[in-house]
Amino acid sequence: MSSDEVRIVKRRVDLPQSTTWRVYRETDGYRALEKVVKEMTPDEVIETVRASGLRGCGGAGFPTGVKWGFVPKNIFPKYVCVNADESEPGTFKDRLIIEKDPHAIIEGALIAAYAIQAEKVFIYIRGEFGRGYDILQQAIREAYQTRLAGDQILGSSFSCHLVLHRGAGAYICGEETGLLESLEGNRGEPRMRPPFPAVKGAFGQPTVINNVETLARVPPIILNGPQWYRQWGTERSPGTRLYCVSGHVERAGVYEFPLGIPMRDLIEFAGGVSKGRKLKALIPGGSSAPMLDAETAMRVTTDFEAIMSAGSFAGSAGIVAIAEGTCMVKVALRLTRFYMRESCGKCTPCREGTYWLVQALDGFHSGSATREDLSLLESVGKQMVGNCFCLLGDTAPNPLLSCLRIGRDDFEYHIAHQRCPEEDGDR
């Protein structure tokens, strides 16, 4: 495997003034949109994306072209939603694109809009991204000024408007139906599926929701064709992906590599585990994904299928390395507390279960836990899995269950000594 990055989405991020329309245009920007509205039918666009095998980069990895194909042809109006509500712990690729290459998102979104014949694109950006909001706003302004958005784009009969919608701090709005509820002006509680958003989404109309990175990949695919994109990655996970490597590594960052690159290579590219320590556990796809133990992590490749068969999921490609010497009780408590705070409170197991888990984990932290609490934690966690309304609840116990599996010693240490192993200086 190559140890050099393959920069498709990242190609502009190091350019000076990369956020401007001028720089974007000079680097093949909006050529794909031009090609699409002037030379291609909507179906050809969908077919091209389908043939490229592009899979959603938000977490579920659903084939993008297939998703677009689900949208009914004869119901109008239709909408495109850009999910720029990046908030999965350990993931920070979308921020890079928003802040460095906003026009790529706009172009990708407009192509998606053309493919399904949507009249409006809603870009739902995370409330904490104040700077990103302004950068995107400015890019949208430029797009309107240059007739790339709005009525009769590039002189064609295709019209599409862009609306930038700012979230206000709720992790659950990254879930696509939670995002739709939030966009419509409700509490960001996930919706029941079916009906799926492709059939009945924003404002009750057919809607395509795509992640920022997914859309940024569309223009180069349109320009270079599906086969070009398939030269990287595996058969079922073609192309490249932005891997967010953080935690206990020397050089944390966003790296673009072909799907299927060995995890070991990725960690090495990031400088290896920091301070020469040994890897203890690894989160392969954002905090919701079950952790891999060091041995499995070093064995696995990074395509969707390989991580799935290792018992986890590739999710948002937020890879967090946890080094030897880290107390897994602390990790479990922090991550479970996150899910407790972000649970919307709609369904019972998530609302009550996360609260219970945090209360019980606090017992370990404060030294009051007993051996029975270990099995209780496991049992309560397992009672949540599969019984919740949305994936937030279903995956909320994952960090805890993983920590119990990988770091059981730390839990035992807490029970035996009423202290954190980290405090005892064995790190």
Q: 163 to 192, contacts with other proteins by CB under 8 A?
A: 163, 165-171, 182-188, 192
Residue 243 found at the interface with other proteins (CB under 8 A) = no
First CA to last CA across the chain, in angstroms?
33
Burial of 45 (0-12, 13-18, 19+ CB in 10 A): buried
Residue 365 found at the interface with other proteins (CB under 8 A) = no
CB of 313 to other proteins, least distance (A): 14
The set of residues, in sequence order, having a beta carbon less than 8 Å from that of 404 and lying 6+ positions away, is 332, 374, 377, 378, 381, 411
Q: Which residues of 392-419 are buried (b: 16+ CB within 10 A; e: fewer)?
A: bbbbbbbbbbbbbebbeebbebbbeeee
- Give the x/- contact pattern for other proteins in 24-63, rule: CB under 8 A: ----------------------------------------
Residue 105 found at the interface with other proteins (CB under 8 A) = no
Residue 336 found at the interface with other proteins (CB under 8 A) = no
CB of 315 to other proteins, least distance (A): 13
Residue with tokens 């959603």: 56
Tokens of 414: 């807490």
**Which residue, 30 or 129, is less far from other proteins as judged by CB?**
129
**DSSP secondary structure code for residue 319 in this structure:** E
- Give the x/- contact pattern for other proteins in 369-408, rule: CB under 8 A: -------x---x--xx-xxxx----x--------------
**Which residue, 6 or 361, is less far from other proteins as judged by CB?**
361
Residue 213 found at the interface with other proteins (CB under 8 A) = no
CB of 201 to other proteins, least distance (A): 12
Number of residues that bind other proteins (CB under 8 A): 86
Pick the stretch among 64-72, 150-158, 292-300, 335-343 that binds other proteins (CB under 8 A): 335-343
By CB under 8 A, the residues from 121 to 150 that bind other proteins are 126-131, 133-134
What separation in angstroms does the CA of 185 have from each of 115, 167, 188, 216?
A: 27, 10, 8, 27
By CB under 8 A, the residues from 307 to 326 that bind other proteins are 318, 320, 322-323, 326
**Which residue, 49 or 270, is less far from other proteins as judged by CB?**
270
- If DSSP codes are grouped into helix, strand and coil, which group holds residue 267? helix
Asked if residues 27 and 15 have their Cβ atoms less than 8 Å apart, the reply is yes
CB of 324 to other proteins, least distance (A): 12
By CB under 8 A, the residues from 248 to 267 that bind other proteins are 248, 252-254
Helices 102-116 and 212-224 pack at an angle, to 10 degrees, of: 70
Starting at the edge strand found earlier in the chain, the sheet holding 292-293 runs: 253-258, 240-247, 318-323, 279-283, 292-293
By CB under 8 A, the residues from 265 to 304 that bind other proteins are 283, 287
d(CA 177, CA 390): 9
**Which residue, 173 or 222, is less far from other proteins as judged by CB?**
173
d(CA 332, CA 352): 17
